[in-house]
Each structure stands twice: as structure tokens, then as C-alpha cells.
């Protein structure tokens, strides 16, 4: 039933799901795991339409696991820029080195994939069923939603994950696991959508408890949303007399590890933002600056906190910049900033800076 629906309505043009001739693979036909692995990691926190152009560029730049393993981390992060959750890029890079050591054999079981950084059970199952047509269940966000609705689960899925894994395994078609898992994901992405599921177009209407309840969108149940902590960050765009701008590279840990940024830090209670900027630059880079006018203020929400960046232009006064809380610091020409991977929030700071400098040059 689901597979009949998928035959007619599935997303069949996904490039990493096609064989080397560009056709849909036959039952049991192996596919190259490398493009699938890259795509699955990109899809972990990002939607298909956003991933597609990134995946295309990635495959052009790093066409094989060997090419990725020998690439510079700087280039890997630069290509990932804008996709967010940058640790995924670093883990792909690390994973490529591990896989290259084991070449030419790709892992053919869950344990082999779970040894790679950033690979959980659902990603591993999806790679193995996509590449080798192995009967392994998956449980990504789309699948959790569809299954929770199918049974009208009275609790949020993450509270009963083991049970959801069993359910995903139970519904899986062992004869066509690759197609079935893809069909389940396609159903969740295109029909059983988060807000307004198109139940009239669903092949499972007759079996769906959420549909029978009359309010399918009420499922999956959710935990009460928690208030995200809010912080104000003072940021300094420091220019020297030659017009170069100071940037620093974050330590490798954390959400944005390894990326470049403009220096700054948290505003203390009762502190004027100009004082925050000057203090942070002294504490983190051992320099003194003259804090000038505001360049831009912007807000950015991460999954665990909301930040307001208040960005000021600064003039470097004294002190050779030291990487006291980062990997390295660099003076660069403003026009060269695009050669460095920055977090998404910084793209607007760069655009504002270039615009400001452009106005200054004209004047």
C-alpha cells in the first residue's frame, strides 16, 4: 500500500538514490555509500531542498572519500558555510580518514557505521538500507511523526524511543527495505507534514489512529516548550590603520567549533555594551581598542539559546593580538572575508561592514 503510493508519488529524483547510470536501483543492487553518507549527514538537521545544492557542490569538490580525507579542514568548513551545525562537517572529514584507512571496504553493518563520528542508529540504518538494501529500520523526525500518528501515541516519541524503534522495524517491508524506508520518509516529508497533514492523499488513512481521532495534527504529542536563555553579545569589528580587519578562529569544540568570527563576548549585568566589547577584546586577544559607532545589531536563535549581537566598529590601539581563547587570530583584508568559513549570523555583519567601507571609500 505504502509502496504503491510511493511508486506514483515518491521523491524519485534524489540524486544519491540513483545508480551510476542515473536510474533507480533494482532490488538488492548496491549503490555507492559515499554520496549517501554525505547526504545523510547533511540531512540530519536540514531539509532536503536546502541540502541538495550543498550536496552537489560537495560532490564536485570532494568526489570520493579519498578526496575528502585529504582535503583541508578550512576548505571543508568553507563548503559547509550556511548549512549550520558545523560539527557535522568536521565529523564527515574525520570519518573520511577512518574510512580511508579501511579502504576499499565500506562497513556493511550497523556497528561499522556507528563507529564513525556523528553517526547514530537512524543515520546508519538509512545509509545501509539505501546503499545495500539491508532490512534496517530508521527513525528520523519524519518517521517518528508518521508512526506516532499511525498509533496516536499518547506521549512524546522521545520518551518511548525503544518502542518506536520496534514499531519502525515492525512496519518495515523486509523484501524492499530501501524503497520502504524512502517511502516512509517521503510520506512524512510530503503528506504527513507537521502542521497540516494531507490525510486525503495518504495511503494509510484507514489504519491511522490519529486520523480516526479527528485531529491528526495533535500528534505527535510534545513536551511543553522550554524558555530559551537569552544573552547579549558585544562584538568588535576591529580595524587597523591599514584598513585590515581582525578575525579569530574558534576552538574546535562546540556547535560552531573551528569557524572564524569577529571577537566579542557576553555582556555582564549592568555593563554598557561598549565596555563589554572593550573588555572582551582585552580578555580574549590582549589588545586595547577605541570602541566606535554601532555597525549592526542582529538576533540569532540557536536550538538551545537566543543571542543578540551588538556589533561596534573599533579602532585598534595597542597590543599584538594573542589567541588567548581561540585557535588563532588574523588580520585580513575586508574583501578576503569570504575566504573564511563564518557562522551564519556573521554573514550579516560582513555584509554591513563591506557596505559601510564602500560608503567610506566613496566619501
Hey, which residues are catalytic here?
A: 40
Nearer to ligand SF4, 199 or 255 (CB): 199
Nearer to ligand SF4, 150 or 278 (CB): 150
Nearer to ligand SF4, 202 or 329 (CB): 202
Shortest CB 206 distance to ligand SF4, Å: 8
Pairing of strands 230-239, 264-266: antiparallel
What are the residues whose beta carbons fall under 8 Å from the beta carbon of 121, sequence distance 6 or more?
A: 110, 114, 139, 165
DSSP state of 16: G
The x, y and z cell numbers of residue 255, run together, are 556547535
Q: Closest Cα to residue 123, out of 186, 45, 41?
A: 41
Shortest CB 138 distance to ligand SF4, Å: 16
Shortest CB 137 distance to ligand SF4, Å: 17
Contacts with ligand SF4 by CB under 6 A lie at 146, 149-150, 191-192, 197, 199, 202, 204-205, 208, 210-211, 216
Question: What is the C-alpha to C-alpha distance for residues 51 and 183, in angstroms, rounded to an integer?
Answer: 19
Shortest CB 185 distance to ligand SF4, Å: 13
Shortest CB 356 distance to ligand SF4, Å: 50
Q: In a 3-state reduction of DSSP, which class is residue 340? A: coil
Distance of CA 159 to the CA centre of its chain: 24
Q: In a 3-state reduction of DSSP, which class is residue 138? A: coil
Nearer to ligand SF4, 27 or 207 (CB): 207
Shortest CB 203 distance to ligand SF4, Å: 8
Nearer to ligand SF4, 197 or 341 (CB): 197
Are 120 and 139 a contacting pair, CB within 8 Å? Answer: no
Nearer to ligand SF4, 119 or 191 (CB): 191
The Cβ of residue 51 has, within 10 Å, a number of other Cβ atoms equal to 22
For the chain, helix, strand, coil in percent to 5 are: 45, 15, 40
Shortest CB 252 distance to ligand SF4, Å: 41
The Cβ of residue 345 has, within 10 Å, a number of other Cβ atoms equal to 19
Nearer to ligand SF4, 209 or 307 (CB): 209
Question: What is the C-alpha to C-alpha distance for residues 108 and 134, in angstroms, rounded to an integer?
Answer: 9
Q: In sequence order, what DSSP letters do the residues of 4-70 get, joined into one string?
A: HHHHHHS-TT-GGGS-TTSSPPPTT----HHHHHHHHHHTTSS-HHHHHHHHHHHHHH--SHHHHHT
Pairing of strands 264-266, 260-261: unpaired
Are 17 and 99 a contacting pair, CB within 8 Å? Answer: no
Amino acid at each position: 500500500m505504502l509502496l504503491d503510493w510511493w511508486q506514483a508519488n515518491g521523491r524519485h529524483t534524489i540524486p544519491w538514490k540513483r545508480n551510476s547510470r542515473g536510474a533507480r536501483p533494482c532490488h538488492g543492487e548496491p549503490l555507492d555509500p559515499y554520496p549517501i553518507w554525505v547526504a545523510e549527514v547533511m540531512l540530519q538537521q536540514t531539509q532536503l531542498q536546502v541540502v541538495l545544492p550543498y550536496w552537489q557542490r560537495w560532490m564536485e569538490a570532494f568526489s570520493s572519500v579519498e578526496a575528502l580525507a585529504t582535503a583541508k579542514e578550512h576548505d571543508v568548513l568553507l563548503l559547509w558555510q550556511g548549512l549550520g551545525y558545523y560539527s557535522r562537517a568536521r565529523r564527515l572529514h574525520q570519518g573520511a580518514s577512518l574510512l580511508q584507512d579501511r579502504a576499499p571496504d565500506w562497513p556493511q553493518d550497523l556497528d561499522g557505521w556507528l563507529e564513525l563520528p556523528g553517526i547514530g542508529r537512524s543515520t546508519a540504518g538509512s545509509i545501509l538500507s539505501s546503499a545495500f538494501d539491508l532490512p534496517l529500520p530508521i527513525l528520523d523526525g519524519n518517521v517518528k511523526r508518521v508512526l506516532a500518528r499511525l498509533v496516536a501515541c499518547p506521549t512524546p516519541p522521545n520518551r518511548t524511543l525503544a518502542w518506536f524503534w520496534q514499531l519502525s522495524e515492525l512496519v518495515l517491508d523486509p523484501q524492499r527495505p530501501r524503497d520502504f524506508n524512502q517511502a516512509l520518509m517521503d510520506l512524512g516529508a510530503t503528506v504527513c507534514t507537521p502542521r497540516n497533514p494531507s490525510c486525503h492523499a495518504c495511503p494509510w488513512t484507514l489504519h491511522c489512529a490519529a486520523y480516526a481521532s479527528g485531529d491528526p495534527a495533535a500528534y505527535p504529542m510534545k513536551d511543553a516548550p522550554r524558555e530559551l536563555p537569552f544573552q547579549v553579545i558585544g562584538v568588535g569589528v576591529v580595524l587597523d590603520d591599514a584598513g585590515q580587519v581582525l578575525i579569530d578562529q574558534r576552538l574546535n569544540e562546540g556547535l560552531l567549533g573551528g569557524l572564524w568570527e569577529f571577537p566579542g563576548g557576553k555582556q555582564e549585568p549592568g555593563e554598557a555594551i561598549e565596555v563589554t566589547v572593550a573588555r572582551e577584546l582585552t580578555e580574549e586577544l590582549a589588545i586595547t581598542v577605541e570602541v566606535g559607532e554601532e555597525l549592526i545589531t542582529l538576533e540569532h536563535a540557536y536550538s538551545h539559546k537566543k543571542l543578540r549581537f551588538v556589533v561596534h566598529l573599533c579602532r585598534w590601539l595597542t597590543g599584538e593580538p594573542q589567541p588567548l581563547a581561540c585557535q588563532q587570530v588574523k588580520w585580513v583584508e575586508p574583501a578576503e572575508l569570504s575566504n573564511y568559513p563564518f557562522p551564519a549570523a556573521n554573514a550579516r555583519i560582513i555584509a554591513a561592514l563591506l557596505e559601510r567601507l564602500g560608503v567610506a571609500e566613496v566619501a
